[in-house]
A and B are shown apart, each in its own frame.
Chain A
Amino acid sequence: MNDEVRILTVGDCGVSVEFGQEINLDINHRVTALKMLLKEKGIPGIVETIPTYCSLLIEYDPMVIQYDELVNNLKVLVNQLRDIKLPEKRVVEIPVAYGGEYGPDLKEVAETHGISEEEVIRLHSEPEYPIYMLGFVAGFPYLGGMNKAIATPRKKTPRLKIESGSVGIAGEQTGIYSVESPGGWQIIGRTPIKLYDPERERPVLLEAGQYIKFKAITGEEFKAMIK
């Protein structure tokens, strides 16, 4: 087992396998690989796994498998991760209506950096953003790779209500509100795509390990897509 891999105790029904303590894709890929390997092995007693930036939380039932046995199993599996083939890179295109009623803070972000609104849109819709994890609420993606040239502090006074689909910036992070929620992010646009819909067979659209590419659309296109 690699030195930097740690198996942390999370009470009597959980362990967390931590592959390091920084946000980078190599570490995150190992989290994904372990999740896949556990699914493939189907170790009895594992109830659910939750992947995050650097670690995989494993919930298990001690009536079926106990701490030492699980940890020993995991130590073996962690050494087999390089044999796991990760799924091919998948980029999900997210159409976004930037500015205006959909992105009330676009102007503020542009002014903060002394650039035009168009330049903010260009810089924001240029990269392919890796999805490190989902959390906070259903379907909320934690993205990496935003251009630091548009990094903007959160709003001093958070909004009480941010529409679902809102695309925002908070510090060096960008993200999409998957459900309506209060929040302090700088809202620069909105997508008509539902990231979370409990009526759908797969309620949450995105998965950790995929990539997002934003595509600028007009307000009319937004309205047409929502119908």
Chain B
Amino acid sequence: MNIKIINSGLLTIVEDMGRYGYQASGMQVSGVMDKYAAELANALVGNPAQAAVLESTYLGPEIEAEGDVLVAVTGGIPEVIVDGQWVNPYESIELHQGQHLRVAGMREGLRAYIAIAGGLSVPQVLGSRSTNMKLGIGGVAGKKLINGAELPVGEPSIIAREILTGHAHHRHAAYNYLVDNKIWSSDYHHIRLVLGPQADYFTEESIKALNGSVYTVSKDSDRMGYRLEGAVIQRKNTRDMITDGIVFGSIQVPPGGQPIVMMADHQTTGGYPKIGTVITADLPLLAQCKPGTRICFEVVSVYEAQKIYISYMKAVQEQIRLMDSSIESFDWPEVRVGVRNYQLKIDGQLFRVSVEKI
């Protein structure tokens, strides 16, 4: 089975969770920018988290299914259309042979993730299907997708086949994590960071001011790095730093004092001092910030950051567990063809809802 790219949109690429194991050789990890959204999209169609998905930027692609297949779209709040009809993001969708699915735009956020049951089965390069555009490897020819490209799809899981044949309920994910964190409702997004590894290169005033500082995401931001515009971060001295390692989330400060947050396609090493590192749980949100978005830094300790990390990982797993309505047998209000059954968690309480389209 293939998926055909009718229109590739602005920047649509194949990514998975990244190419690990080669950073000591200078190879970037790449992988999806918003791991949270990609993992949810995969779970919605019964894929493992590592399955390759489509990542689109702002204006998404239009794709056609060669056969009946289960798909799901996540990431920010994407506008999804199947053959002229609006459909919901964050739930499994049946895409029948010949039908077109289009990500028309983003109501919130910047990047949409389209997961196909079975995962995109383009060849693995060094253990990953992620597109590394700098090296020209992974995905399709190491490049962004072009109109007419055809992507092979792997074997769907049992649960995906059951959903597609009406033997299991559609999966649905409330975007609790983002909503609970008031992600899309405020003037600016809070991005938490841990100081270091080179915070001692900067003045105490600058470090103090960083907590609560508001920066604007510059238009020169991409998958490699987010350039931020705002208060200048002052160096304590001009001592040169010796090049060292970088992670997804490292906040580099070049001589001009305007920080750059290193993102999924970041180089493995760099020579600018890094005042801090964005916490893992806030990277999905940052990845959804488009140019012009304002972010407000909040400094947390490494201990707080790891507490947040663990509760974040558990929240994601909890959300995925809630999708598995078919595995345990629940008493649904209504069970028949055409009715979709959802489990929703509102204020910590679980609800089972049956919905029918009218």
Contact = CB atoms under 8 A, between A and B. Distances in A.
Q: Do A and B come from one complex?
A: yes
Interface of A: 8-14, 16, 18, 21-23, 35, 47-57, 59, 62-63, 66-67, 133-140, 142, 178-179, 196, 198, 203-204, 207-208
B334 interface: no
A57 B242 contact: no
A16 B267 contact: no
A66 B27 CA distance: 26
Contacts of B246: 57
Contact of B26 (A53, A57, A137): A137
For the complex of A and B, the 3 pairs showing the least CB-CB separation, nearest first, are A57-B245, A11-B277, A135-B269
B267 A10 contact: no
A62 B306 contact: yes
Interface residues of B, number: 45
A48 B245 CA distance: 11
5 contacts: A9-B197, A52-B244, A133-B269, A138-B26, A204-B27
B310 A62 contact: yes
A50 B23 contact: yes
A14 B309 CA distance: 13
A52 B249 CA distance: 19
A10 B269 contact: no
Interface of B: 20-28, 125-126, 134-135, 137, 193-198, 242-247, 249-250, 267-269, 274, 276-280, 302-303, 305-306, 308-310, 313
Contacts of B20: 47-48
B243 A11 contact: no
Nearest to A54: B242
A134 B306 contact: no
A53 B243 contact: yes
B212 to A, nearest CB: 19
A203 B25 contact: yes
Contacts of B197: 8-10, 16, 18
A179 B135 contact: yes
Contacts of A135: 26, 243, 267-269
Nearest to A49: B24
Contacts, number: 138
Which of A10, A13, A63, A207 has its CB near the most chain B CB atoms (within 10 A)? A10
Best-surrounded residue of B22, B246, B269, B313 (most CB of chain A within 10 A): B269
Given A11-B194, A135-B268, A178-B26, 16 more contacts: A8-B197, A9-B194, A11-B302, A11-B305, A12-B306, A12-B309, A14-B247, A54-B242, A63-B310, A137-B26, A137-B267, A138-B135, A139-B25, A142-B243, A179-B135, A204-B27
Contact of A203 (B22, B23, B245): B22
B78 to A, nearest CB: 28
A12 B306 CA distance: 6
B241 to A, nearest CB: 8
A143 to B, nearest CB: 13
A11 B249 contact: yes
Given A133-B243, A136-B269, A138-B26, A203 B306 contact: no
A54 B240 CA distance: 14
A48 B27 contact: no
A203 B19 CA distance: 13
Contacts of B126: 198, 203
Contacts of B245: 10, 16, 50, 52, 55-57
B309 A8 contact: no
B269 A137 contact: no
A67 B277 contact: no
Contacts of A21: 242
